[in-house]
Structure 1
Amino acid sequence: MPELNWQKSTFSGGPQGECVCIAAVPDGTIRLRESDEPRVILGAEPKALASLLSHVKVNLTHTR
């Protein structure tokens, strides 16, 4: 696998510096990792990740 260009989420950086990072892979998939566990990498298809994020946003809006 080629070296990935990780980008930190704009919503990251809490008091302890926790960060979520994302990288695009040439095969069209997306990789995610947390700064405190950089060797643990999750993979997702763009449509599946978009669906998850949409679901999270809707549920966060309803719980506030």
Structure 2
Amino acid sequence: MVVPLKWQKSSFSGGGEGNDCLELASTSTALHLRESDTPAIALTSAPASFIHFLAAIRTDTLNRQA
């Protein structure tokens, strides 16, 4: 049985009912991100990979060569 994901809006979305926001859903094995205006398309990642991605953004090392 497939359980539907419970999507949460970003706190930076302004709290309105508009469709201009980022939404997050999580399961025990994955994180899912989507834009409210295109809910059929979602980015899915393992939590550890997503944590590394966010760290690279925060430290401005995302575009640097290893």
Q: Normalization by structure 1: what TM-score?
A: 0.72
8 A contact 2:10–2:22 mirrored in 1: yes
Aligned equivalent of 1:22 = 24
Tell me the CA shift for residue 11 of structure 1. Answer: 2.8
Alignment length (residue pairs): 56
Aligned equivalent of 2:38 = 37
Tell me the CA shift for residue 17 of structure 1. Answer: 5.6
Aligned equivalent of 1:62 = none
SS at match of 1:39: coil
SS at match of 1:38: coil
Aligned equivalent of 1:49 = 50
Bigger-Rg structure (1/2): 2
Structure 1 spans left out of the alignment, 5+ residues: 60-64
Greater helix percent: which structure? Answer: 1
Kindly provide the amino acid, as one letter, of the partner of residue 25 in structure 1: T
